[in-house]
Structure 1
Amino acid sequence: MPTIQTLLDDYERLGWTNNDPMSQMLALRRDNPAALADLVIASFDRALPHATFLDAALDLMDDTALEKVTTEAWQDIRNGAWNARLASVLSSVATQMPQVFSGHWDMLVDIYTTKQSPRLYVEDNVWRMLDRATVERWRGRLAEVPSGNKAAHARAVALLHSRQPAAVRDAAAWLFPDDPGTRANWLMSAGYAQEHDTLRALHGETPLHIDFGPTLGAPIRRAQPKWNREILAHHPTWHARGSHRLGARFGGVSSHRCGLCHEPLHRLLTLPQPAAAGIDSSTPVSFDTCLSCAGWESDGPMFHRHDDAGNACAHPSQQRDTAIQPDYPAAPFLDADVALFAAPSRWTRQEWGLSNSRQNLSRVGGAPSWVQSAWYPDCPDCGRKMSFVMQLDSNLPQTDGGEWLWGSGGANYTFWCAPCRTSAHLWQCT
């Protein structure tokens, strides 16, 4: 087995040509999991473009190892170091362990606004950890600094994503005083809708990941390259293990039909106890859509009303007297019992681009992992913004042996209007 030194030397010299650093990293993990931290730390001062094996190492290391990496990286940066590897590590840390920046928020803003090459990709989720004292201090400075100031703008964006409603409201008003449309879009990016003088949260903060179990998990893993199967087997977002489980049913078909093509609706997830998953419903709910029509034949989201038993029925606005013929008819998902579980808090927020098929992005509740820009649809019945309740990633097994992709391989988002008992589905891809 290669040493950390030879693994990095070989990659620096060969890249991926006649070289398999991913398998070498996984072998290192099997032999000594704690060595993953040393591997990443040893990479800090090297030029290693496209080093996804190091991103995978960050994902697979335990919290103690990640804290060690984070502390070393942050200390190097505070001492003046800056390069592509440090920027990459810090971008992952911003989502997985944002609490490391506590006490150093002003410095993080300074790095974000001054380090242009390489650019620090600070996922907006990092700002949810802002402490109240910093929030109040930054709020007080909004009135003192002109809107053209770059650092002031960065602080206002941070406040917008702080999940502290008063600060969110002030920041949005400061950023867009004369542009209510843009202000509304930025509020959506922060997970809020403004209703008169109040803000309403459009998502929760406690996601439950879907453990697909053996029936669905086996074909999901089979479709992956060998090295990724090993990652999926060990990544904590894929397996409930000893966690509390909430039962649900995935896949299959409904007895109700699509209003566009008149074929049976495809079941996504049926929840016997939606309230236990943070969804506002006193009855079971089945979230269904038409895979053949969604995103292809529908102009915007697919909407469904739910009856007293929780079954999804085509919304009247999407009922056609004559059935259309979908260009891309789809087989339903394999049906099986699944379990919802709370993954470690490190995975409360996930970023679609950073997950790179390693992390399980199929989850109920919490914040969406947008492929593109945030978009919460308006309820077709009451006109209010709908709340996010679920997302499903691509590579889901179908009854015909296929592997379902949302578009070119994106994600599907499900929304819910509790007063109207109406659901919506839309997908995004690159």
Structure 2
Amino acid sequence: MHRDPEEEDRLYEVYRTEVRALCTAIREAKEAAWNDLLASFDRDPWGRPYRLARNALRPWAPPTTSTLPPETLHRVVGGLFPDSSRTAFIPPVMATAQVADGGELEGVSQAEFEAAVARMRVKRTAPGPDGLSSRAWALALTEDGLGPALRRLFSRCLREGRIPEPWRTGRLVLIPKDGHPRDEPSGYRPIVVLDEAGKLLERVVAGRLVQHLENIGPDLASNQYGFRRALVPRLMGAAGALTRLLPNVGGCSAGTRRLYLGVVHSMALYGAPMWSPALSARNAALLHRAQRALAVRVLRGYRTISQDVACALAGSVPWDLEAEILAAVYRRNAQALSRGRSPGPSAVGRWKRVARHVAYAKWRERLLKELGQTSATRRRTLEALVPVLEAWFGTLVVERQEVLVRYSPPAIPSAGRKAGDFLMKKKVQIS
């Protein structure tokens, strides 16, 4: 067959042109989809962008046990789980369930089974040895599927006090610790991944235990924060995921940005009256890091802006001080209730104002200590912020919101001297 070189060259050029056009179309489609995703913030703040941020998956990596050399793996596992072959291990035997009135133990009801399945449906944990994920089980555990059969099996397990052997067998996973050697047992944290069916039964039992403690007693102590029905949210993950969807240029409005700041604020301060008195410096630093990241996104500022200035301009008091405010009001309310008095809205409002005044004083002292230990640019910013700190958060709430909306992104103070000049102007206006 005769081949025409000129025709081949022409066809190749056509092919190359079409490939470039396709790449351009793909790039433009991606940019349009991304812009539409960011624009949907204002239309529906709790829509797809928010769900994507909350459900962001971590990058996949091969299991640690498959990447370690065999001799290192044996040494690590042997150090974490010493050989106990010399002493025979006798597993505990569950006693047969006894009912006080001589009746039969209540089986697993459809309501508590469906509640446990609903919690399984939102979990995205690694599957156990059977290889079935929680979502696969949730799809199968319907009334027309495996739901009734598994519920009957759960009821039998509770009545007979027996659990199937596969549900008690797990898969060992080694999680590396940051800053620790990778060839020593101390460098890993072992966890055991169980089958989802066994964990579903555990959720049913845990629900019955919590219900018994709350309704019959003795209930958990008032300062017990863990092992409650509400789980502690993944604060840092939510803050990091949301900041990725809030670009400095374009994106959603200032009001929507402050809305998301309030969402993470509520997540961070959940149960604050319980854990605030025992808050360590390390955990306070974690709160500051998440708050600063979101405050900078609210302002559309640079990463070099300090935490105090970012929080002040975003209208967000440091969260460790906010936790102290909530704890102080909670204590006053508990004291009033213990005396048989129910505080009214005016009394609670007065307690909040007093606690907030104390928090501003602590923040002011914190800033004054930094004045002599910082650069000249940051010193100028702090000198402008300290005198008007309480007024900025008190009498100028409406004005501050108008300023944040009125200023275009390039005009919002972002770092260093610009933030100091901005606050100096506001100081003159306030005085």
TM-score, normalization by structure 1: 0.22
Comparing both structures, which one devotes a greater share of its residues to strand?
1
TM-score, normalization by structure 2: 0.22
Comparing both structures, which one devotes a greater share of its residues to helix?
2
Q: Greater CA radius of gyration, 1 or 2? A: 2
